[in-house]
Amino acid sequence: MSVLVSALAFFVLLSVLILIHEWGHFSAARFFKVVVEEFGFGLPPKAKTLFKRDGTEFTFNWIPFGGFVRLKGESAMTEKERRAKGSFGAAPVHARIIILLAGVFMNLLLAFVIFTIGFSSGNWVPTYTTLEQMEEAGRSGEIHLVMSVMIDEVISGGNAAKIGVPQKSVLRSIDGEDITSVSSVSQLQEGKSRVTYGISSFTDGKVGEEITKYSVALQDGKSGIVIIPYPLELSAPDRNIATAIGLSFRESKVMMVQTVIGIGKLVSSLARTGTIPEGIAGIVGIAQLTHGAVQEGFMHYLRLVALLSLSLAALNVLPFPALDGGRLIFVLAEWIGRKPINRTFEVATNAVGFVLLLLLILLITFNDIVRLF
């Protein structure tokens, strides 16, 4: 049953993200009197025409993910067809810019609304890119934070390994003193030949309540463990709507920047080694993330929707052919040059861009599948 629920959640996630994006294009086009010839639910081939309204054919398509809009004159090759009344090419430059960016705006708006709900009623913890940011947030009261230390690795042959100190566990105390930072470990061990560790297990992302004691011999103040900072307690207080809105702006900015950095790492990795870096997920990876989020609960799933909506916005605004940002470049070039770009060149460029994007998606998906096994 959980697999079916996750599959449905995955279908809803992709459909909502893409349809709200296309709805942005649709609404902006209608506002500027550009004829929307078709609004498709799912992707071609067409299965059925649902209805027609105000010159737009609403269709259901065989590939049941997302959707699309087809504007009048989008595929026209002659200048006469492009400039025909109601066509995209006949709209003023500012109108075409808004139409192209409306999808990105809707994805940003969706993420912002979800973040506001999460920070106001879901007690979400904001994303911090550095430990210093998190600790500052804890000091300011933005979050409740109690830091500790995780034993990330137990060095083979070391004193800790000899007595069975478990790696991937949490070091709670040394000689009865609570551990709150990596630096406090070396301070409490300095000048001693033996200490007593209080250690809690760490399983499935949860710290065990029971504390086990280990008497560990030291050599030069070290026991043979590799430690990293770990938030032992991390939660958020109740917030009013104004605070939630402020955090939503911040979260959107942070996640957009991280997405752009991730795209940069993808391009760099492909150029240098031809490999997909860690942290980049395709359709299969997103399906896995969806399943995990569904298991954690609805609010976790909702946060995933917001994060992917921001990722979709960041991806589409890139100045790459076939994407909204790439099409925007041609509109801006026409405005700057005071004349239309050669239509054959524009169509060919977008076609090549589309093929490259498709190949990239297939490569990332293949990489997802390899990681599964």
Mean pLDDT, range 63-74, rounded to an integer: 83
Could you tell me the pLDDT band of residue 126, with boundaries at 50, 70 and 90?
A: very high
User: Is 221:192 a contact under the CB 8 Å cutoff?
Assistant: yes
User: Is residue 364 scored above 90 in pLDDT?
Assistant: no
* Local structure of residue 89 (DSSP, 8 states): G
Residue in the block written with tokens 């992709």: 14
Backbone Cα Rg of the chain? 27
Nearest to 286 by CA among 57, 18, 95, 36: 18
Tell me the C-alpha to C-alpha distance, in Å, between residue 134 and each of 60, 249, 327: 47, 17, 39
User: Is residue 141 scored above 80 in pLDDT?
Assistant: yes
Q: Which two tokens stand for residue 118?
A: 């999460």
Mean pLDDT, range 83-109, rounded to an integer: 92
Mean pLDDT, range 333-359, rounded to an integer: 84
The b-or-e profile of 184-223 (16+ CB within 10 A means b, else e) is: bbeebbeeeeebebbbbebeeeebeeeeeebebebeeeeb
Could you tell me the pLDDT band of residue 7, with boundaries at 50, 70 and 90?
A: confident
Tell me the C-alpha to C-alpha distance, in Å, between residue 320 and each of 108, 288, 297, 352, 356: 19, 28, 36, 10, 10
The predicted pLDDT at position 1 comes to 57
**CATH H-level, domain 144-235: superfamily:** PDZ domain (2.30.42.10)
The predicted pLDDT at position 356 comes to 86
* Local structure of residue 224 (DSSP, 8 states): S
User: Is 286:308 a contact under the CB 8 Å cutoff?
Assistant: yes
Instruction: Say which residues have a Cβ less than 8 Å from residue 180's Cβ, sequence separation at least 6.
Output: 146, 147, 148
User: Is residue 83 scored above 90 in pLDDT?
Assistant: no
pLDDT digits (tens, 9 = 90+) for 327-338: 999 889 888 888
The predicted pLDDT at position 225 comes to 92
Q: Cα angle vertex 171, ends 176, 292, to 5°? A: 145
User: Is residue 213 scored above 90 in pLDDT?
Assistant: yes
User: Is residue 79 scored above 80 in pLDDT?
Assistant: no
Tell me the C-alpha to C-alpha distance, in Å, between residue 294 and each of 1, 14, 149, 204, 305: 12, 14, 29, 16, 11
Instruction: For residue 318, give the H/E element and its range.
Output: none
pLDDT digits (tens, 9 = 90+) for 273-319: 878 777 777 777 777 778 788 888 889 999 999 999 999 999 899 88
User: Is 353:320 a contact under the CB 8 Å cutoff?
Assistant: yes
Whether the bond into 45 is cis, omega within 30 of 0 = yes
Average pLDDT, the chain: 88
* Phi, psi of 271, rounded to the nearest 5 degrees: -70, -35
366 or 111, greater pLDDT: 111
User: Is residue 77 scored above 80 in pLDDT?
Assistant: no
User: Is residue 124 scored above 90 in pLDDT?
Assistant: yes
pLDDT digits (tens, 9 = 90+) for 223-254: 999 999 999 889 999 999 999 999 999 999 99
User: Is residue 197 scored above 80 in pLDDT?
Assistant: yes
**Domain positions in the chain:** 2-35+72-125+246-372, 144-235
Using DSSP, state whether 204 is helix, strand or coil: coil
User: Which segments within the chain are labelled E, that is strand?
Assistant: 36-53, 56-71, 144-154, 169-174, 177-178, 194-200, 202-203, 206-207, 212-217, 225-235
| Most confident segment among 124-133, 333-342, 353-362 | 124-133
Could you tell me the pLDDT band of residue 355, with boundaries at 50, 70 and 90?
A: confident
